Amino acid sequence: MTRIDRAQVEVRTPSRAGPRKIAGLALAHLWVAILAFGIASAMALMQALSRASLDLPWRTAGMYYLSVTAHGVLMALVFTTFFIMAFGYVVASRTLGREAGPPALAWTGYWLALTGTLATAATILAGKASVLYTFYPPLQAHPLFYIGLALVVVGSWCWSAVMLLSYRTWRRANPDAPTPLAMHGIIATVLIWLIATVGVAAEDLIQLIPWSLGLVSTIDPVLSRTLFWYFGHPLVYFWLLPAYVIWYTLLPQVVGGKLFSDPLARLVFVLFILFSTPVGFHHQFMDPGVSAGWKLLHTFLTFAILFPSFITAFTVTASMEVGGRARGATGWLDWLGKLPWRDPLFSSIALSMMLFAVGGIGGAINASFGMNAVVHNTAFIQGHFHLTVGSAVALTFMGAAYFLLPRLTGRELELGLLARVQPYLWFIGMLLFSISNHITGLMGMPRRIYEAGYGGSPVAATWSGWTGLSAVGGIFLFTSAGFFMLVMIGTALAGRRRDFEPVVWAQPLHPIPNRRTLFDRYGLWTAIAILLVIVAYAYPLWTHLRMTRFGSPGFKPF
Amino acid sequence: MKVPLYEKIWMWASGVLVVAFVVTIVVGLAGSALQPPSHVETIDPTKVWNDPRFKQRGATPTAAGTTVVMIAMMFAYQPAEVRVTAGKPVTFRLTSSDVTHGFSIVGTNGNTMVVPGYISQFTTVFRTPGEYLIVCNEYCGLSHHLMFAKLIVEEGRAQP
């Protein structure tokens, strides 16, 4: 075996039985993701129009905060998690040469997560859980809201176990081969997720569920916030890493090029395993009860994690250039024009990368110990994360859905014109939405408010033109989301049947070692990651628990 | 691991940029004491109205400047209007009697979370006299957007 990419080329399965089986599992997850996305988008339109202070029917404060909660939970927690689980099954099954399994565990995870999603969504839509997707106590939701979230997490743990078990089975059969790059990225995602969810599981099971059921009467909100953000920032990388996997392993193939640097891609995923979690205090800069020194340590670690994203920006762009040159470009920049801008997977990724570059710079501002005070909890923040999770992640996932759905269903993509236009509409909408929110944020407008009048305050009046622009952005985004839904549903119902097409992974530009390297030593990286978590959290948590604290009773002001 | 030359240059540049960001933060911290409000002090959230630390609310002149004591509650601040003097240090001390609130002085970097069971404290100086809007920037219930207060920064009186 001197070939460099034994595991990266998929063997075309002649019979339909092969792809069908994993297709069922992946499709079941994908559809939950797509439907959650559709509902969440409708919620977003309502908020956007609210921001423009239009006098709409049903527009009440109660409806507004309900819709913010539903949008956040369905987009950030349900759409992302289910899409990532679907993608994980595709990657594991299509790179390891055998189906991901055991299937019984995978389906158990699916049903647990789906049941949890339905329970949580029901409490939100019934108006019993307008606590937003950060659910900070002592705002108290219906117990089913928290129990549902716990089930989603447990379901995702089943998925994580399937990913790791599938890898172990493959590794036993291939003790010396390098992990296929896509699977390497998925394993990094899983490891980050397993470390991160310890925080939210502890918050949910030890604090929130007993408290919402009335078994204990009070709760410590700073402890909750600490546990939540212990989970909340690595959550960001749980979303982002599968998008990076798509950028590294599908995009070069789609543009007709090769992956510029395979070892650096591997290094990037390893760095994320190490630095994703010990950074949560940068979400709590403005919190009392957490001392400044620990916030500073988390700040430094946060900046360390900029580095792998810088490498990604170079490697992925260079891979595009390789593709453009393979298509005949010779000049400095004409390779850009040679790229397949009409292919929705390519345009989604290319546009999402541009938006992400801006979002990343905004993230560096948010993480800056001192500067954060100017933008904390202002509209700047929603402007920021709609460029990161709302673009880099969501737009990439939509592009990937155009790529995956035909390969999972054996149907051609229907309404291709809408699919071609959709990423551009998203791009325009997101630019309008995010720019205006960054600006109003710098002007001091808070995020998540039903109305921005503040008793006729003159400073609040200066925000109104920009909020109108953000509403226009919202209309573009909603139209784009609608196109996406039409293509998905149209393809499922009316797409022309064809043979199953394989998922072909990108080849590296330079030969890679045919033996596994240090990058594949996941036990080692996990151990270092846990060590960093202990350094960053053990002492502050210990001193916090020893301090004289007073709990808060619950409140339901919704 | 063989890294192409251009990528090596890029990686070094990225590394330098990350270090530059960190140095900026350290310089801001050391030079201008730019650090987030991180006071650690607890209080029983069910008894804030009778707690001696929050009995006397509003602005109180001290030797160093002014201390402003306020309680955040659904959906107002108590007191709802505060006067301080420009150019003098102002120390804000806040707590909540119910859920978590925000406290953001629009147009400044005065910004802190107000979490029940804890006392938030930060010191700042207002250079420009005028009327400032204080808003709650953490969702606290259905009338969250109606929760605000007024800060009036007055011209400093000439010292006798």
A29 Cβ contact partners less than 8 Å away, ≥ 6 residues apart: A82, A83, A85, A86, A89, A110
Burial (Cβ within 10 Å: 0-12, 13-18, ≥19) of residue A100: buried
Can you give the pLDDT at residue A369?
84
A111 CB within 8 Å of a chain B CB: no
Top residue of A258, A275, A377, A549 to mutate, by most chain B CBs within 10 Å, is: A377
Which pLDDT score, from 0 to 100, does residue A408 have?
A: 92
| Contact list, B40 vs chain A (CB under 8 Å) | 288-291, 547
Euclidean distance between the first and the last CA atom of chain B, given in angstroms as a whole number: 73
Residue A185 tokens, joined: 């990225």
Span B98-126, pLDDT tens digits:
999 999 999 999 999 999 999 999 999 99
- pLDDT for A33 equals 97
Q: Which residues of A touch B32 (CB under 8 A)?
A: 370
**What's the confidence (pLDDT) of residue A20?**
57
Look up residue A378 and give its DSSP letter.
Answer: B
- Per the CB < 8 Å rule, is B145 touching A459? no
A552 to A221, A399, A487: CA distances (angstroms): 7, 45, 48
Q: What is the pLDDT, as a whole number, of residue A21?
A: 66
Q: How many angstroms separate the CA atoms of A455 and B135, rounded?
A: 11
DSSP run (H or E) holding B9:
helix B5-32
The answer, yes or no, to whether the previous bond of A138 is cis (omega within 30 of 0) is yes
Enumerate the residues of chain B whose CB falls inside 8 A of the CB of residue A222: 115, 117-118
- Angle A370-A376-A377 (CA atoms, 0-180°, nearest 5)? 175
B137/A549 touch (CB, cutoff 8 Å), yes or no: no
What order of strands is seen across the sheet that includes strand B130-135?
Answer: B81-85, B148-154, B130-135, B101-105, B111-114
A553: left (phi over 0), alpha (psi -120 to 50) or beta: beta
Contact between A501 and A162 under an 8 Å Cβ cutoff? The reply is no
Cα separation, A286 vs B113, whole angstroms: 5
DSSP state of B121: E
Write down the pLDDT at residue A553. Answer: 96
Interface of B with A in 133-152 (CB under 8 A): 133, 135-146, 148
- Please name the residue that has the structure tokens 């998905």: A488
User: Residue B105: enclosing H or E segment and its boundaries?
Assistant: strand B101-105
Rounded to the nearest 10 degrees, the angle between the axes of helix A522-546 and helix A292-304 is 160
Cα–Cα distance, A300 to A297 (Å, whole number): 5
Say which of B36, B43, B116 has its CB closest to residue A286: B36
Residue B93 main-chain phi, psi, to 5 deg: -125, 120
Tell me, yes or no, if the pTM score tops 0.90: yes
The burial class, CB within 10 Å (0-12 / 13-18 / 19+), for B136 is buried
CA A335 to chain centre: 30
Q: H helices within A368-463, ranges in order?
A: 372-375, 379-387, 394-409, 416-442, 458-461
Q: What are the phi and psi torsion angles at A116 (to 5°)?
A: -60, -45
B3-40 core/surface letters (b: 16 or more CB in 10 A; e: else)? ebeebeebbeebeeebeebbeebeebbeeeebbbbbbb
Residues 435-454 of A with CB under 8 A from B: 443-444, 446-454
Residue B158, pLDDT above cutoff 80: no
SS3 A411: strand
Q: Rounded CA gap, A345 and A260, in Å? A: 19
Enumerate residue ranges in chain A where pLDDT < 70: 1-21
Alpha-carbon span A458 to A531, nearest angstrom: 51
Structure token digits, residue B116: 């029940």
